[in-house]
Amino acid sequence: MFKISFSNPIIKTDMEEIFLNVPESTRLFHKKIYISGASGMIASYLVSFFIWLNEEQNAGIEIYAGIRNGQKCDLRFGEYAKKSCFHLIQKDVLFPLPDDVQPDYVIHAASLASPQYYGLYPVETMLPNVVGTYQLLEYARNHDVDGFLFFSSGAVYGTAEGSVSISENSIGLLDYLARGNSYGESKRCGEALCFSYSDEYHVPVKIARIHHTYGPTIDIDNDSRVFSEFVGNIVKYQDIVIKSSGESKRAFCYITDTISALLIILLNGKNGEAYNVGNPDEYIRIRDLAAVLTSLFPERNLSAKFEKRQNDAYVSSPNSRLVPLDVGRLKGLGWENKVSIKEGFMRTVQAIEYEKRQV
């Protein structure tokens, strides 16, 4: 697992960039923030930003990190997990949050988010997005929080063919009995709960529909998603292996742009509203992504090849979203995508390789 360290020049630069992108993050100073699934790829970068704010800006943020496995916490955050501002909450999100936490902000990020789990653990995929969301919304309702952010996904759109672009008003087809749709369907249910709690109980909840995000915290050894496997190939000096036709298109967003978007949604978003998070300027085919990555490191003499996927547990999405992403609503809050695919994947590889040299 990638360990966060601000001595890593890429991580340090990323944290500084997020702060410049979201100057209103100073509104989080001296607040208590609970984040479920805090060791996850995206959530851990958000937690790292809060730690960085404390280290570099004297922010005084009390971080309550929901991580069931204490070893994962140590592997991800190392020495920072021992800081007095860092509180490990080793409790399953399916059960109520302890009353003594009393956060000002709740961020619900706990979820299995890779297709390699959907076939093996469809129940475990769904429960955090439904039962876990309910538990945290109940807590927020009863404790008068300042803000609540739900990590949703572009998977809620299902198949959206025929659309000019995917906006938050797009309604795609999602067969809830199809193997592999447990994730998207449970995210839909979680969103419906969020809207309902906002509408009926006035909980200040916002929804982030996160599309394909990559960055240093991807798990190149265990995550079967294409961007993780491709980066793993580069880091290990292996040819890139494409396990599909490579024709599918995705809007790949570097993690600093995603974290900036999440903070802006939390602080400036409209209650009960959903926002697409992704980079429409980098909407490319999987085979083209492979070509970009090999071209970034010509000295490694790597190429791309096609192989049939051998992992039977991996459930490819039964849905087609071959239309561009509309992030106009997010841009209306003041967000801009700033990191290109070339720069973002270069940073990702450099950060991972730097971390490996420190071991």
Q: In this structure, is residue 358 part of a structural domain?
A: no
Q: In this structure, is residue 237 part of a structural domain?
A: no
Q: In this structure, is residue 350 part of a structural domain?
A: no
pLDDT tens for residues 100-118? 889 999 999 999 877 777 8
Q: How far apart are CA 139 and CA 118, in angstroms?
A: 28
Q: What is the reported pTM?
A: 0.94
CA dihedral 75, 39, 28, 187 (to 10 degrees): 180
Say if residues 32 and 105 touch (Cβ distance below 8 Å).
yes
Query: What does the pLDDT average to over 12-29?
Result: 98
CATH of residue 185:
3.40.50.720
pLDDT band, residue 175 (cuts 50/70/90):
confident
Q: In this structure, is residue 80 part of a structural domain?
A: yes
| pLDDT value, residue 310 | 62
Q: Does residue 200 surpass a pLDDT of 90?
A: yes
Instruction: Find the length of the chain.
Output: 359
Q: At what angle do helices 9-21 and 341-358 cross, to 10 degrees?
A: 140
Q: In this structure, is residue 328 part of a structural domain?
A: yes
Pairing label, strands 62-66, 32-36: parallel
Q: What is the tally of structural domains in the chain?
A: 1
| pLDDT value, residue 299 | 95
Range of 104's domain? 9-217+254-281+319-340
pLDDT band, residue 179 (cuts 50/70/90):
confident
Q: In this structure, is residue 43 part of a structural domain?
A: yes
CA dihedral 343, 345, 351, 354 (to 10 degrees): -100
Q: In this structure, is residue 139 part of a structural domain?
A: yes
pLDDT tens for residues 305-340? 887 766 555 555 555 555 678 999 999 999 999 999
Query: What does the pLDDT average to over 42-60?
Result: 98
| pLDDT value, residue 313 | 52
Cα dihedral sign for 17, 215, 242, 247? Answer: negative
State the chain's mean pLDDT as an integer: 92
Say if residues 92 and 126 touch (Cβ distance below 8 Å).
no
Q: In this structure, is residue 125 part of a structural domain?
A: yes
Query: How many other CB atoms are found less than 10 A from the CB of residue 131?
Result: 18
| pLDDT value, residue 246 | 82
| pLDDT value, residue 99 | 83
